[in-house]
A = this chain, B = another copy of it.
């Protein structure tokens, strides 16, 4: 089965810029028929590339809260616990987990009191220290602009083009840049399974 190709990427770019564009307009732009565009978008959703259709809101117009960026220095081994707790805090818009184990989140809070929220949502002992920065401005750039659009080959890491392959293995979808990577991966996977 063919995975993502250039046309899919063009469709994505058009949707990111304006998700209400009618299919016939997209179809014109990518030289396909509207039903085909529809099929492709369905597939992009199935693949998980399109997570959702949504609206980009100007939150400063909606909320009278204070936007903050909170940086939690988490005790080793408790990152995912803290991460999950933070996700449940009201007003949290973005959440980042750094490779060295910090959990950073962007939230809009009714008052500046971060501490009670934290003690409420997580075991505060899991946090060595934290740092709160008031935000003046924030922006979201959904445009994929110059970003290289490429699925990574799960075997060699190269980008996956329209010549690539994919396999469903044990309910997971894996992407490959070529059939040799695919078979190599499947072999290794089998070996791993046997070893277990």
Residues of A within 8 A of B (CB): 4, 9, 12, 15-20, 47-59, 61-65, 69, 83, 87, 90-100, 102, 104, 106, 108, 110, 133-142, 144-152, 157, 159
Contacts and interface: CB of A to CB of B under 8 A. Distances in A.
A56 B52 contact: yes
Contact of A54 (B55, B106, B150): B55
A57 to B, nearest CB: 6
Contact of A150 (B63, B92, B99, B102): B63
A154 to B, nearest CB: 11
A59 to B, nearest CB: 7
A124 B133 CA distance: 23
Nearest to A133: B98
Contacts of A94: 94, 106, 138-141
A56 B49 contact: no
B149 A17 contact: no
Given A138-B94, A140-B93, A110 B148 contact: yes
Contacts of A138: 94-97
6 contacts: A4-B62, A19-B20, A62-B144, A87-B141, A94-B138, A99-B133
Given A12-B57, A16-B54, A54-B142, 10 more contacts: A50-B56, A57-B144, A62-B147, A63-B146, A63-B148, A64-B148, A91-B145, A91-B146, A93-B140, A99-B133
A159 B164 CA distance: 54
Contacts of A149: 62-63
A37 to B, nearest CB: 14
Contacts of A9: 62
A52 B15 CA distance: 11
B157 A64 contact: yes
Contacts of A144: 57, 59, 62-63
Contacts of A62: 4, 9, 12, 49, 144, 147-151
